[in-house]
């Protein structure tokens, strides 16, 4: 494994990261989202892909599509545990007016609860053609790192690591949470965060096909 430091970017005028990613698994209310959803899972509940309230996807009021099929681009399990779709977090994404400008579709998932000794939260997004640039990736990565670590005592260090022959951007928060960002193709962007000695996020990055 190799690593190299990266310089911190200049401040960006627009925040692109998903608010839902900061503390994934936090309960949200369906009222006020304005999305065409028949049912919403109980607050704070992660649901298996087969039990999603929108198995064929759904589109929010701002035009973002929740696309559960994107989770098939990830390993089915991490550390022996299945990745489950997080519909509660996806509801939050649907209410984010900025995301549809850059993403055609998004899916959310994870392993474990944030109260467990080890957990991971992961987002996978299908980028629109205009967002398939190095500048967008850098902006997303930096704001994702800052957003995750804002709930974990701030960013302690950032680096690039080679994990399973891919270059993965890794940010370590002072509070122990680690954020990972990687492009697995020109159009697919994966962001994850984990906590715990098993480092399920690193295992996830290493197992992406």
31 with 9: CB under 8 angstroms?
no
Structure tokens at 33: 């989202």
- Residue 147 to residue 22: CA distance in whole angstroms: 6
Nearest-5° Cα angle at 159, 4 to 162: 70
C-alpha to C-alpha distances, 13 to 31, 110, 118, 163, 206, nearest whole angstrom: 30, 30, 34, 31, 33
61 with 94: CB under 8 angstroms?
yes
Ordered mean pLDDT values, 10 residues apiece, the chain (209 residues):
42 41 32 28 39 82 96 96 94 95 97 96 98 98 97 97 97 98 97 98 97
Q: What is the pLDDT, as a whole number, of residue 55? A: 84
Query: Which contiguous run of DSSP H or E holds residue 207?
Result: helix 200-207
pLDDT per position as a tens digit, 130-170: 999 999 999 999 999 999 999 999 999 999 999 999 999 99
Give the total residue count for the chain.
209
């Amino acid at each position: 494994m190799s690593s190299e430091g990266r310089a911190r970017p200049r401040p960006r005028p627009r925040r692109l990261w998903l608010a839902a990613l900061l503390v994934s698994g936090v309960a949200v209310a369906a009222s006020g989202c304005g999305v065409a959803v028949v049912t919403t899972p109980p607050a704070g509940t992660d649901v298996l892909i087969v039990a999603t309230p929108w198995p064929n996807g759904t589109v929010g009021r701002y035009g973002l599509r929740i696309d559960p099929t994107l989770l098939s681009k990830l390993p089915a399990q991490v550390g022996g545990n299945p990745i489950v779709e997080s519909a509660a977090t996806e509801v939050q994404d649907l209410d984010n007016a900025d995301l549809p400008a850059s993403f055609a579709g998004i899916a959310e998932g994870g392993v474990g609860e944030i109260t467990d000794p080890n957990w991971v939260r992961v987002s996978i997004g299908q980028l629109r053609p205009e967002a398939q640039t190095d500048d967008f990736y850098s902006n997303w990565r930096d704001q994702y790192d800052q957003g995750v670590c804002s709930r974990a005592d701030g960013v302690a260090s950032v680096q690039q690591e080679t994990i399973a022959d891919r270059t993965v951007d890794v940010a370590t928060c002072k509070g122990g949470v680690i954020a990972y960002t990687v492009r697995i193709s020109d159009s697919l962007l994966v962001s994850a965060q984990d906590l715990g000695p098993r480092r399920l996020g690193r295992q996830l990055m290493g197992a992406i096909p």
